[in-house]
Amino acid sequence: MRITVTAFDAFGGLPGNSSEVAALELARGGSGWAPGVLDVLVLPTAYGQADQSLRGLLHSNAPDLLLMTGMASGSQAVRIETRARNLDACPEPDNAGEVRLVDQVRRDGPEFHSAAIDVLALYRGLRARGIPALISDDAGGFVCNHAFYVACHEIARTGLPTQCGFLHLPSIDKGFTPEGAATACGWTASTLGHALHVCINALSLAEGGPSQRV
């Protein structure tokens, strides 16, 4: 199995992005535990550039599992997104300075694309390990949702067997050390990386593998 985990770089003047921190933390220990070949791709937080990077990945070396991640700074739990919406709608500029208030991601696309992973297996796997998690049907209107939709649309349009899902991760509480634990108060680099580890194992162990749809 080839697994690619994507994350985003810092945006909006923030010093970092928890998804990038988590993905790099995962990669540091990935070769010893991952059920296959693990790659990490950090996407630019910009509509056009993220779009181009994802299409390049899918058309050149598509993975069996594409687990996408972004940051949800207001969340205290891992948010498992069930669908991507064909809508860019955010008043904040991306890292290229572009604002998209009411735009379609793809003019020829459906209103929604559903995640093609076993969402319930993810949720149960996280909760069984004491990791706060919830299931969400709204991935927002910024670059996270845009990238998720682009990936799902390209996979559907070209008939790729790649299974694709998206997680919104909490931001890191700087008051915790990397050896700390996820609590209702904060997260650390190690606990976020551990959460991704748990997600990948849950998907690989789920009955029928990561191909079950929600």
Positions annotated as catalytic residues are: 81, 144, 168
Q: How many CB atoms lie within 10 A of CB 176?
A: 18
Q: Which of 24, 148, 131 is nearest to 75 (CA)?
A: 131
DSSP 75-111: -SSEEEE-EEES-EEESS--TTS--EEEE-S-TTS-S
CA distance 20 to 34: 18
How far are the Cα atoms of 98, 175, 183 from residue 144, in angstroms, in the given order?
14, 26, 25
